[in-house]
A and B are shown apart, each in its own frame.
Chain A
Amino acid sequence: MKDETKLIIPSDPARLEEVDAFAERWMDGMPFSEDQRYDIAISLSEAVNNAIEHGNAGDASKKVTIILTPIDGGIHIKVSDEGGGFNPESVADPTEPANLLSESGRGLLIISHLMDEVKVEPCKAGTCIELVKRFSSSKAS
């Protein structure tokens, strides 16, 4: 089994490609289908975007930490920020007709459709999003 791995980046959306490449390299050799890999890549990018924009409010001096951990039958992803806390309940339903033309606010909705487990909660420095994807997952975009 692979070792746990960690990446720490500043709150800069331009670093998303680096996060994607980091996760893709680490997952190499794991028995995920191509669709499942896309689901993980999309969800990880959503979680990191969320941490940068909402958690750390774009403050580049604050960091985003990504930890990838192999678990029995899949992977666990933890993304944490250093912001003042983020309440997922405060996000307006993006599927309501009045919100359909909003340019943001769909990240958690998409993650919840693609990943097997999603948990958002306060953690030591800010907010943590924890995600699980199983090799046997039938959830897919």
Chain B
Amino acid sequence: MKLKSERHGSVVVLELRGKVMGGPDATVFRDELKKHLDDGIRKVVVDLGKVDWMNSSGLGILIGGLTTVKNLSGEMKLARTTDKIQSLLMITKLVQVFDTHDSVESAIASFSE
């Protein structure tokens, strides 16, 4: 997995790429998220548009991120979930947990002021 982050005002967009399969990926994601949270960022978008596939460990990484952000009274949203990832969210009923958006722009625009 590769991860790139970009700030858009008070929002950080974490773009994941490749295969998200757990192991070292969890540390990479957690460390990058922590860096932005330590800077005071509380609005997070995870862009999944360039993810080839993700397994349950990848879903666990996202849930861990969501819990961390929520515990700091922040919000985390998913953007550009591929059909494969959307299907996994349906199978696992995690559609009930994540706020998903078709584009990064709409995810950014959806944050409460």
Point out residues on A near B: beta carbons under 8 Å. Answer: 13-14, 16-17, 20, 35, 38, 41-42, 45-46, 49, 94-95, 100-107, 109-110, 113, 140-141
Contacts and interface: CB of A to CB of B under 8 A. Distances in A.
25 contacts: A13-B22, A13-B23, A13-B57, A17-B21, A38-B53, A41-B53, A42-B55, A45-B55, A45-B57, A49-B21, A49-B55, A49-B56, A94-B92, A95-B93, A100-B94, A101-B66, A106-B56, A106-B60, A106-B92, A107-B55, A107-B56, A109-B91, A110-B88, A141-B84, A141-B88
B91 A110 contact: yes
Interface of B: 19, 21-24, 52-57, 59-61, 63-64, 66-67, 84, 87-88, 91-94, 96-97
A93 B19 CA distance: 26
A49 B23 CA distance: 9
A96 to B, nearest CB: 9
Chief secondary structure at chain A's binding surface: helix
A49 B97 CA distance: 24
A20 B23 CA distance: 13
Nearest to A113: B91
B92 A109 contact: yes
Contacts of A41: 19, 53
Contact of A95 (B52, B61, B92): B92
Contact of A42 (B53, B63, B93): B53
Contacts of A110: 55-56, 88, 91-92
Contacts of A102: 63
Contacts of A49: 21-22, 55-57
